[in-house]
Structure 1
Amino acid sequence: MFSQYSFTPRQLTNGTKHIWDLILINYRVENLEALVEELKKANVTIVDKIETYDYGKFVHILDIEGNKIQLWEPKD
């Protein structure tokens, strides 16, 4: 029985209802700005604006099923 590994909505403290809502896929990319422009042309949902940090640039998109994906251009 897997009940000791199962999660219920009351066990998730951040308001999500499913454990998969806590998972975020991150892709390392080159030239994030150009990629975002191409994704916009393909009608991909861009969740937020590109943010820049000391360690790189980030943006989030949604896949066809509505799952959030993080795109990361590291600062090399």
Structure 2
Amino acid sequence: MEIGHAHESRRATTGHVTVAGAEQETGINRRTIQRAIYSGALRAYRPGAQKLWIARADLDAWLAERVVAPTQAHHGAA
């Protein structure tokens, strides 16, 4: 158990986050994040453990792609 926690801590300081961490940081539901991973829209990896890890740079890039332009946001409004 001790080793796992140290491993997670090291990954957190090297620019990676779990799905749960991404959910907490972004406010985006973890199922949405998982769907993005499984569809290939968001890169993640599982380095022999059960948890999926996402590089913060990949998370930031995925979030940037999700930005809604003002005309898109207003287009659906009545």
Could you say which TM-score interval applies, normalised by the shorter chain? Answer: under 0.3
User: Which has a greater percent of helix?
Assistant: 2
TM-score, scaled relative to structure 1: 0.27
User: Which has a greater percent of strand?
Assistant: 1
Structure with the greater alpha carbon radius of gyration: 1
